[in-house]
Structure 1
Amino acid sequence: MTVRQAKWHGRVEGATDRCAVPGCGEPGEFRAPISPGNFDGPGTWSFLCLEHVRAHNAAYNFFEGMSAEEIEAAQSPIAGWERATRAFATNGADRGPAWTDFADPLDAISARFRPESRRQRVDRFNAKERHALGVLGLKDDVDRRGLRKRYSDLLRRYHPDRNGGDRRHEKKLQQVIEAYNALKGARAFAGMGQ
């Protein structure tokens, strides 16, 4: 048995009330919000005939009363995604180890099932990279973005072109550049984007 599609999307079948527009005798088969715009909850509706709901829809402007910045934000392709969300449930299990802590993926998988007392933490950075972190003044939980930001800040501070020609910091500048070069290819950042 096939179900017949309604000719008009949004039609309220069997509506008994008349159109809400004064003087109209047609049945009010289509819902239209009384106060269009941003509202919380189900809102209030009036029921209109086909002719009047078409006129209502033609006059509707979602952006009415918004500033240019609000309109731009509403049209953004990522609107709503910048809000914080809850983390996925782990069903009571502890979180697995970070993949970047291991050179071999099988070690990471097996570490998930080892008792906590037998787990050994693999350092993200080797000794040379740890020294470079110290030169840049970073902790070992830094990500690639934090590394780049700190490098950029230190370049601005120590570079003679940026600090009025003061060449007293050239040695420190060289150390910063060497530290960044040592860290930018670190295994800890291998899975992170540029």
Structure 2
Amino acid sequence: MSSKASKWHGRIEGAAAHCAVPGCDEAGEFRAPLSPGDFDGPGDYLYLCLDHVRAHNARYNYFAGMSADQIEAAQSPIAGWERQTRAFATAGGNPGPAWNDFADPLDAISARFRPGVERARPDRFTAAERSALGVLGLKDDADRMALRRRYSELVRRYHPDRNGGDRGFEAKLGKAIEAYQLLKGSRAFAA
């Protein structure tokens, strides 16, 4: 059975009969590093009593004896990760299921698992919606916010109440309203 958890973190019960400090008769139950270890294994340790390990930790400096460049390299966020790793698979994605080689005359399912096959994205807009985008002066990558912002801008510019009563822009206003009505109900701008 496991014994009661130790009150002190890092205590190694029964590690050494006596503390490594000369003249101390306490049990050496705490490991204290002599020098910084490396990634090939642990460094060298002294086994000290609680009072002496506290004193050791208070004066211990990991960076003692290192140059400024070595300290900077040790503090790097990627320190210890400079080794080479194997490359990921170039096909991308997971291999297909065991049944991906069945006869699929329409190629509806198995094309997804074939490496190197580009799937065509369905066109986002119909021809009428593309024409409406042109009326509003928007590109294919416009989102719902850009559509609303551009529509508001055109209404403010062309409305007779906003442009001093000039009715010369009524045709442009009508086209902008019609284009907006078509696009706001479009599947591409669905919320």
TM-score between both structures, scaled by the size of structure 2:
0.43
Bigger RCO (CA 8 Å, 6+ sep): 1
The structure with the largest alpha-carbon Rg is 2
Structure ranking higher in strand proportion: 2
TM-score between both structures, scaled by the size of structure 1:
0.43
